[in-house]
Amino acid sequence: MFSSAIRNKSRLVFDLQKLSNKFSTSNQSNVKVAVCGASGGIGQPLSLLLKQSPLVTELSLYDIVHTPGVAADLGHIETKSKVKGFVGPDQLKDSLKGAEVIIIPAGVPRKPGMTRDDLFNTNASIVRDLAQAVAEVAPKALVGIISNPVNSTVPIASEVLKKAGVYDPNRIFGVTTLDIVRANTFVAELKGLDPTNVNVPVIGGHSGITIIPLISQAKPSVEFPKDQLKALTERIQEAGTEVVKAKAGAGSATLSMAYAGAKFAFALCRALKGESVTECAFVKSDVTEAKYFSTPIVLGPGGIAKNLGVGKLTDFETELLKAAIPELKKNIQKGEDFVNKN
């Protein structure tokens, strides 16, 4: 019985290691990652995934409640990374000291009938205050913002960092990875493919019509009839609402967002160590008329090493882009105005 238990434990550890290595080509363990909003519906599973990665040496967890308990819970997991919890505004700056990667899922979740814009007033203040602490304590960190509405919260963080005199547009990212994860999954389902081998770039923003999946640039190459392509595009754009409705008031997309957030965090960790990694993210951009825009970007130790742009678009995708730009510009302006008025 004892030997059987040992075998089962070894199998579990091996499976967890495989999960980590899905996002890592290196077992080097030397990045400090901070999660702001670590006790929430996204923050807890995100922190669990980060704890399992060999890329993470130290995990610093911050929230306004329960963080010491979350840290104690994760601290019992048999991986090398050290975990420490920080709770309340008085401990915020301490939680960010020495952080090389900061992931921000803090804020209130979406509920049935709510748009991402409805979240604005609460989450805008949260992101503003976190960005101020980043500016003072960890201005050189690579910062991934999950808090919605991303189209506005990324400009908010950027404006705060500008006012503090430490803004580097190459180090601030809106995490749109979930849109790519969903696109990969939905395309794979329709074509009978292995979703781990599908890669669909998604450009634009991170809400509704600003989400522009570039099915024409998918790898492997796929084609759909016009009506199916339209339906697929709309499903990707409204997938968040699909989850909110399915949970019937019990929350929004937390587990899939945690997975996507971890995937992007691991990309930042790998880039910090000199690996060239390509991911889509919502960043300061001159690719379109919108000041911020998501495109595939090459990541390096200093953040954005190269913006790969939108590539060649089909007529259908060009129309999606035209529809997205006015909405994006409005969202961005709303974020900038919030900081300038507050």
- In the chain, which segments carry CATH 3.40.50.720? 26-174
Mean pLDDT of the chain: 91
What is the model's pTM? 0.91
pLDDT per residue as tens digits for the range 142-168: 999 999 999 999 999 999 999 999 999
- What contacts 209, CB < 8 A, 6 or more positions away? 237, 320, 323, 324, 327
Q: Is 269 left (phi over 0), alpha (psi -120 to 50) or beta?
A: alpha
pLDDT surpasses 70 at 2 = no
Q: Is 81 left (phi over 0), alpha (psi -120 to 50) or beta?
A: beta
Q: What is the pLDDT of residue 11?
A: 41
- Give domain 26-174's CATH superfamily: NAD(P)-binding Rossmann-like Domain (3.40.50.720)
- In the chain, which segments carry CATH 3.90.110.10? 177-341
Q: With beta carbons less than 8 A apart as the criterion, state whether 258 and 117 touch.
A: no
Q: What is the pLDDT of residue 342?
A: 81
Task: Establish whether 66 is a catalytic residue.
Answer: no
Beta strands in 146-244 (DSSP E): 172-174, 202-204, 211-213
Q: What is the pLDDT of residue 3?
A: 43
Among 51, 116, 206, 291, the active-site one is 206
Looking at 3.40.1390.30, 3.90.110.10, 3.30.420.40, 3.40.50.1360, the CATH number of the domain 177-341 comes to 3.90.110.10
Q: What is the pLDDT of residue 28?
A: 52
- What contacts 36, CB < 8 A, 6 or more positions away? 62, 63, 92, 95, 96, 102, 103, 104, 105, 106, 130
